[in-house]
Amino acid sequence: MAVPFLDLSRQYAYLKDELDAAAVRVLSHGQFILGPEVAQLEKEVAALCGVKHALGVASGTDALLLALRAAGVAAGDEVITTDFSFFSTAGVVARLGARPVFVDIEVDSYNLDPTLIEASITPRTKAIMPVHLFGQVADMDAVMEIARRHHLTVIEDAAQAIGAGYKDRRAGAIGDLGCFSFYPTKNLGAAGDAGMITTDSDELYDLCRILRVHGAEPKYYHRVVGYNSRLDTMQAALLLVKLPYLEEWSRKRIEHARVYDEAFAGLSGPRTPVVKDYSTFHIYNQYTIAVPAREELRAALQTAGIGSDIYYPVAFHRQECFQSLGYGVDDFPVAVKASGEVLALPIYPELTAGEQQAVINAVTKFVA
């Protein structure tokens, strides 16, 4: 049985009438830039996360960029972050002329190891940017304790963690700023690029709001040089249709994860995801196993018609564009090991029981 790694057409088929109607409403009222749906989505995401403010921007990458700017990060500053994530986490720091300072990750969660943060702090450190990778919130109490002692801003890269729970709080509501992506593959996905910034700070919200419209306040009067980073009204309208289904979809991912966990529990090959004690709602944007013979397993899955993907094959410090930072090739050994072993399996809500069993059969056959 062929099993796609992700099939967004199934979600569209389920919501077709609602999505089509939302698109027609936007086309009819013609307010394509910062229309009423944007403000409504911001209100609903703020309520979901439990924060005072949410601000729609053009992408998850822009959310990080604007958040760093609002935090005062500039050329010559340093931002501590993980060595293992999607490229934009480190790329936005470099785009501002600042230096990304990498720390290794935890073996079990793939999130940054908070015990390594303090040794990386220097007089130039301006912020800490933990990533809630694959839908599980990082150890934020430890991060926040260090940040407060050293007077550092914390920016949550929650691009993969919309709705994820940490103790009694949600992702994006723990640090000074939270950043989300609505890229189509996310648990809450747009029909293109879209993002959101969350914060309880009036000051940070106001600065991000100005930065997303070229730094203008009021129109044509520029306090700072900003960006063209407005969330399209059409994307907001489509996301408003999907938002009420988000928790149900995330719970279906959790159900699929439990099936995988039980099926793989007796196998000596794949290492399955670990849910930390403080993680009250791991939303499984990806179900990532670790297998030393990763490339062989992926080839076997491909032969069986089963989709998979690698998040991520190269640790940041080994990327060509970051060689000037001076890290050694064997620095951050946990991230290096993970980049050579991780493999994501199909986990989307519409995955059928038969399809999931086909995935399980193929993995089991390979590792047996």
Rounded to whole angstroms, the Cα distance separating 341 from 311 reads: 10
Q: Residue 266: is its pLDDT beyond 90?
A: no
| Average pLDDT for 223-248 | 97
Binned at pLDDT 50, 70 and 90, residue 367 comes out as confident
Binned at pLDDT 50, 70 and 90, residue 368 comes out as confident
Binned at pLDDT 50, 70 and 90, residue 165 comes out as very high
Q: Residue 14: is its pLDDT beyond 80?
A: yes
Q: Residue 313: is its pLDDT beyond 80?
A: yes
Helix 36-49 and helix 8-29: axis angle, to 10°?
A: 130
State the CB neighbour count (10 A cutoff) for residue 107. Answer: 13
Q: Which residue has the tokens 């060595």?
A: 83
Q: Residue 296: is its pLDDT beyond 90?
A: yes
Q: Residue 354: is its pLDDT beyond 90?
A: yes
Give me the pLDDT at residue 13, please: 98
Report if pTM > 0.95. yes
Give me the chain's average pLDDT, please: 97
Give me the pLDDT at residue 157, please: 98
Give me the pLDDT at residue 104, please: 98
Q: Would you give the end-to-end CA distance of the chain in angstroms?
A: 20
Give me the pLDDT at residue 127, please: 98
DSSP state of 343: E
| Average pLDDT for 189-195 | 98
Give me the pLDDT at residue 309, please: 98
Give me the pLDDT at residue 269, please: 82
Rounded to whole angstroms, the Cα distance separating 47 from 137 reads: 18
Binned at pLDDT 50, 70 and 90, residue 280 comes out as very high
Give me the pLDDT at residue 268, please: 85
Rounded to whole angstroms, the Cα distance separating 136 from 287 reads: 11
What domains does the chain contain, in order, with CATH numbers? 8-104+111-244 (3.40.640.10), 245-367 (3.90.1150.10)
Give me the pLDDT at residue 244, please: 98
57: tokens are: 């921007």
Rounded to whole angstroms, the Cα distance separating 89 from 65 reads: 9
| Average pLDDT for 292-303 | 97
